Amino acid sequence: MQTSEKGFDLIRKYEGLQLAAYVCPGGKLTIGYGHTGPDVTKGRKIDAEEANALLEHDVQRFERAVNELVTVPMTQGMFDALISFSFNLGAGSLKNSTLLKKLNSDDREAAANEFLRWNKAMGKVLAGLTARRESERELFLA
C-alpha cells in the first residue's frame, strides 16, 4: 500500500512546516515536515518544495515498514494512520507496540485505542501529541 493524500495531510498538519532547522520536543534537530537525519544541521534552511520532497522520501521508508509489519488486511485509513504514527515515533515503536500486536490479532477496535497511549514526549503528555493520536485513531477507524 501507499500513503494517500489524507495521510500526507495528517502528517503535514501535525508536523508543521519549518523551513529552518530546529530542535523538536523530542530533542532531535528537525527541518521541513519533521525530517531528521545527518543532513539536518544547525542553521540549515530549505524551501517548501524541498520540504515536500523530503517528506515524500521519508514516508517511503515507513510505507515499507508498515507493509512488512502488518499481517492483516488494512483499509487506506488504517494504513495512513499507521504511517503518521510511525513517521512521528519511528517504525521501531510500531514494531514493538501493543497496537501492532492487537492489529495483527485482528482486534481493530483495541488496536485503535492503543493510539491514545502514545501522547508523551520525554515523559510529558503533550496536547499536540494527544490531538495527533486522536486524529490517527479517527482515521484508523474510518
Catalytic residue (one of 5, 15, 63, 114) = 15
| Whole-number Å distance between alpha carbons of 114 and 78 | 13
Cα–Cα distance list, 103 to 9, 28, 78, 84, 137 (Å): 23, 29, 10, 16, 13
In the chain, % helix, strand, coil (3-state, to 5) comes to: 60, 10, 30
56 a catalytic residue: no
Q: Which residues face 20 on adjacent strands? A: 45
Angle of helix 48-69 relative to helix 5-15, nearest 10 degrees, comes to 120
CA distance 142 to 136: 10
User: What is the distance of C-alpha 18 from the center of its chain?
Assistant: 17
Residues with active-site annotation: 15
